[in-house]
Amino acid sequence: MDKLLWEPAPVPRRGPRPAFTLADIARAGIAIADADGLAAVTMQRVADQLGVTKMALYRYVPGKAELVALMLDIGLDGPPDLDDRDWRAALDAWARALFAAFVAHPWALEAAVGARLIGPNELGWLESAVAALTGTGLRGDEMLDVAVILVGHARNLAAQTTATPVDAEGALDDAIAGLVAGREDRFPALSAALREVRPDQQNQALDFGLARILDGVGALIADRGSGATGAHPVP
């Protein structure tokens, strides 16, 4: 499996060239998952999409677990170009790009959990986040923790967005308001907060969360008394 993700397929010296690349196969699986979800991806269905037999597909990919790993790595693609940005702007762009990737491929939220083999594109996302923080004075474990927190925020918001794609936050506010109505004495704090919510303040959870997370990171960097060095200085 390591070779499947990390090493290019060898080109045969003799005989016909392979009809498909691993990327071709992964993209066929991605098309199915985007349309019908990860559970709909089977070796048979991917083979049908490619116009080959299932046994022929097994000559390229050993099974569904390996196929999903390829799909995830190709579906996420690589991180955005963060050159010439300070650490905060870089991580903001990084988290928004990851959120967009999860929204574009909701099945990836299910695939990117648990113990599994990580491919080069997915590892490249982590490399990019750590590189953005290099020179800020944070320790290695802290840089990794920042990346994990940002991934969690992007994942959670993407899951909410894809589950209720139209005005997810507004729908939640409306649902809570409906439950609180007539029960204001029991839930006075919620009732007061809901009265202050305006339509233009909804659907800002991604922005708000990113700003607060990065505020905290900035405060930690400032407390260390370190000015940033390198390509990503502290703003």
Examine the pLDDT at 70 and tell me if it is beyond 70.
Answer: yes
CATH node for 78-167+203-223: 1.10.357.10
Model pTM score: 0.81
Between 176 and 10, where is the model more confident?
176
Examine the pLDDT at 233 and tell me if it is beyond 50.
Answer: no
- The string of pLDDT tens digits covering residues 164-209 is 655 555 666 777 888 888 898 888 888 888 888 776 665 678 999 9
Residue 50: the pLDDT is 95
| Neighbouring C-beta atoms of residue 9, cutoff 10 Å | 12
Residue 160: the pLDDT is 87
> Left, alpha or beta for 230 (phi > 0: left; psi -120 to 50: alpha)?
left
- The string of pLDDT tens digits covering residues 38-50 is 999 999 999 999 9
Cβ(22)–Cβ(61) below 8 Å: yes
Examine the pLDDT at 150 and tell me if it is beyond 60.
Answer: yes
| Mean of the per-residue pLDDT values of the chain | 86
Mean pLDDT of 214-235: 71
Angle (CA) 85-104-74 rounded to 5° is 75
Examine the pLDDT at 16 and tell me if it is beyond 70.
Answer: no
Mean pLDDT of 86-108: 97
Domain boundaries, the chain: 2-75, 78-167+203-223
The DSSP secondary structure of 104-163, one letter per residue, reads H-THHHHHS-SS----HHHHHHHHHHHHHHTTSS--HHHHHHHHHHHHHHHHHHHHHHHH
CATH node for 2-75: 1.10.10.60
Cβ(128)–Cβ(98) below 8 Å: no
Examine the pLDDT at 234 and tell me if it is beyond 50.
Answer: no
Cβ(133)–Cβ(86) below 8 Å: no
Instruction: Report the candidate in 12, 43, 8 with the shortest Cα–Cα distance to residue 22.
Output: 8
Between 180 and 145, where is the model more confident?
145
